[in-house]
Chain A
Amino acid sequence: MPAEPDLIGGWGRTALTAGYVRRGVRAEQVPEILCDSSLFSARGIVARGLGRSYGDPAQNAGGLVLDMTSLDQVISFDGRAGTVHAEAGVSLDTLMRLLLPAGWFLPVTPGTRQVTVGGAIAADVHGKNHHRDGSFGRYVTRLRLAMTDGTVREVSPDSDPALFWATTGGMGLTGVVLDATVRLIPVQTSSMLVDTVRSGDLDHLLAALEQADHHRYSVAWLDCLARGRHMGRGIVTSGEHAASDDVPVAGPTSRSFAPRAIVGSPSWVPTGLLSRASIAAFNQAWYRKAPRSRVEELQGIGAFFHPLDGVRSWNLLYGARGLLQYQCVVPDEGSLRLILDRISTAQAPSFLTVLKRLGPGTSGPLSFPRPGWTLTLDFPVVTPGLRDLLGGLDAIVAGSGGALYLAKDSRMAPELLAATYPRLAEWSALRDRVDPHRRLRSDQSRRLSL
């Protein structure tokens, strides 16, 4: 066991705590670590992947943190059936590099490729195609789960639906995913055909986003600082995978995929670099730079799905105090308008504001997606008045039947979780059954009494 704890945090780098990180662990060691009651019995254990959750779900103050990135083997890839079987620590980036040249793609990709298979399951991640295709859990056909009693269970949606769906979106608290099999989608190229529409106000933006529903992928970027009649102005992008005929050169090169992070952010950045003024200036420039309307532009997978992966450690741009990401879903347009109005009135600067339509959710009791609008806001933690602003947004979200995304959450109160996840009791009952001694714990589980 590691002798000294490490200070670890989430991608937002807000509430760092000290945990004992066990690195280099192998799959067969996980069950014995989980059931060894001499280890961290009071503080528990949590699995950690690439640390892209914004808040505190992959850290465990005073306890053990299992670094799962050493479970990095792609066990098999079936190029005929279109499935891949990979260990939990394999990143989606690794999978895409392997699959795209063979003409396959992951059915769901979040805003970064730098997440692990285990993390994607634990957070039940969604992407720009959620309105059509649903979240990651829907494509997992089976997984192996190390349980806290030392056993390993083979779990599929058919064999043990309760455990399977409690695990997808379960934030790593039902067991430790060792490996999983994921269904893939066929693609002809590694390019995207992208439409872009600039919308001068919220009405046009929402209409454009609804119109984009027939595209497989769609998302909108918003200028949250725009006020008055410009409130809600933004850019809607939508896309499809490009077919062989759409690209200049067909064949294997059209499916190549080898993106690199081009720019790194410096190791030290003064707090407040991302201020209201600089974010307003960026928003203005970004909005103006976008074409009024453009159709079927060829873009790479990286540029379309994961633009931020091009900048290594971009989270450090928010300075020493870190950033808070707030992602909510609300079922109705009225609540969305209320939320955007609050933010615009407060002039709270969110650097990257993203709006997206969500489709039906899965059966996961703690899975985030549900039909409606999901809004994602990035605030520097030092933003004045942030607590009250977000408290007000919480009330709108809870009142509308919406919810906050646990993979982004770093500040929710336990009462809000209970109010917005109506099937929490069902999940807790299953959790009590599979982990009666609460061996699996995270700072988030402590904060939310999960």
Chain B
Amino acid sequence: MINALGEPQSLGVLGGTSQIALAVTAKLCERRTRTVVLAGRDPAGLSAAEAAARGAGATDVRVVSLDALDPSSHQGTVDAMFADGDLDVVLLAFGVLGDQLAAEADPDLAVGVASVNYVASVSLGLRVAKALRRQGHGTLVVLSSVAGERARRSNFVYGSSKAGLDAFAQGLGDSLRGTGVRVIIVRPGYVRTRMTAGLPEAPMSVDAQDVAVAVEKALTSSAEIVWVPAGLRVVMSGLRHLPRPVFRRLKV
């Protein structure tokens, strides 16, 4: 159970090998989290993540296989995650960045990005929400992105998939009011991880640790949307209202 100070005892992660997920897991295990269920695709990566979770203080760690691209497997994944008891927090952390130019050349690649980032999130998000409603409590933390706030020429396939995810998560959160279940949307800017390696670093970049700190803090508050860093909220609020001809010309 999550306690009065917002400290969860158990955590489920969809996309358990992502670096942000690893950072959040480590952060929560520093406090009260002892039970961790990691769902992911890559067995080697999951073993490493499992070891890392134990190293951070988790005593009960399980791994579950997750294939984001196969919605027919999703219910099984979610059932397996909840099989041994309640999960106080579920982090939806999987996602792919894709290669914008390649995706424009080969629409199948774009479909892959949209399928993972949006379609799989809708499928898994609804299933997790149902499981949390059944247990009468819990928080779903959804990793969105500033890229979803306004689609950019340089990154609109990824951006639009995150825009869809973000809108979905907002609606899901509203639908869960009064059920004891809560949705927190996390909108990081540029996070220095494997996913962004090799890309030019954007202003206001953060590390996975910064996202973890923001997630932990959000759990102790009643926040529904969290920007990382917090100042991005103001920046994006400005960018969102720029006229398109101006926005197009910006190197963002």
A residues neighboring B (CB under 8 Å) = 5, 7, 12, 14-19, 43, 55-56, 60-63, 320-322, 324, 381-382, 386-387, 390, 410-413, 443-444, 446-447
Nearest-neighbour CB distance to chain B for A410, whole angstroms, equals 4
Main DSSP-derived SS at the B contact region: loop
Contact of B179 among A5, A324, A386 (CB under 8 A): A5
The residue in chain B whose Cβ has the minimal distance to the Cβ of A449 is B9
- Main DSSP-derived SS at the A contact region: loop
**Which chain B residue has the least Cβ–Cβ distance from A63?**
B136
A443 shortest CB reach to chain B, Å: 5
If A7-B178, A60-B136, A61-B137 are given as contacts, then 14 extra A-B residue pairs at C-beta distance below 8 Å, sorted by A number, are A17-B1, A17-B180, A18-B136, A18-B180, A19-B136, A61-B1, A62-B135, A62-B136, A63-B136, A386-B5, A387-B220, A411-B5, A443-B137, A447-B9
Q: Are A17 and B3 in contact (CB under 8 A)?
A: no
Tell me if B237 counts as interface (CB < 8 A to partner A).
no
Query: Contact string, B125-136, partner A, CB cutoff 8 A, digits 1/0?
Result: 000000001111
CB-CB nearest 9 A-B residue pairs: A62-B136, A61-B136, A18-B180, A14-B4, A410-B4, A447-B1, A17-B137, A61-B137, A411-B3
What residues of chain B have their CB less than 8 Å away from a CB belonging to chain A?
1-5, 7, 9, 31-32, 86, 133-137, 178-181, 220-222
**Inter-chain contacts of A412 with B (CB < 8 A):** 3
Contact: A56 with B1, CB < 8 Å?
yes
Which residues of chain B are near A63, meaning CB under 8 Å? 136
The one of B5, B86, B222 in contact with A446, judged by C-beta atoms closer than 8 angstroms, is: B86
Measured between beta carbons, the chain B residues less than 8 angstroms from A61 are 1, 86, 135-137, 180
CB closest residue in chain B, given A19 = B136
Complex Cα gap A381–B136 (Å) = 22
Min CB gap B182→A, angstroms: 10
Shortest Cβ gap from B129 to chain A (Å): 13
For A381, the chain B residues whose CB sits under 8 A away are: 4-5
Chain B: minimal CB distance from A7 (Å): 6
A16 contacts across to B, CB distance below 8 A: 180
* A443 CA / B135 CA spacing, docked (Å): 11
Pick from B2, B4, B134, B221: contact of A324, CB below 8 A.
Answer: B4
What would 30 A/B residue contacts be, using CB atoms closer than 8 Å?
A5-B180, A7-B178, A7-B179, A7-B180, A12-B4, A14-B3, A14-B5, A15-B2, A15-B3, A15-B137, A16-B180, A17-B1, A18-B133, A18-B179, A55-B4, A60-B136, A61-B1, A61-B86, A61-B137, A61-B180, A321-B221, A322-B4, A381-B4, A381-B5, A390-B5, A413-B32, A446-B86, A447-B1, A447-B3, A447-B9
User: Roughly how many angstroms separate A141 CA and B165 CA in the complex, as a whole number?
Assistant: 61
A17 adjacent to B136 (CB under 8 Å): yes
Cα separation A62 to B130 with both chains bound (whole Å): 12
Q: For residue A1, give the distance in angstroms from its CB to the closest CB of chain B.
A: 14
- Measured CB to CB, the closest approach of chain A to B80, in angstroms, equals 16
With a cutoff of 8 Å between Cβ atoms, the chain A residues found around residue B7 in the complex are 387, 411
The distance from the CB of A44 to the nearest CB of chain B, in whole angstroms, is 11
- Verify A387–B5 contact, CB threshold 8 A: yes
Bound: A232/B21 CA distance, A: 45
Residues of A within 8 A of B222 (CB): 320-321
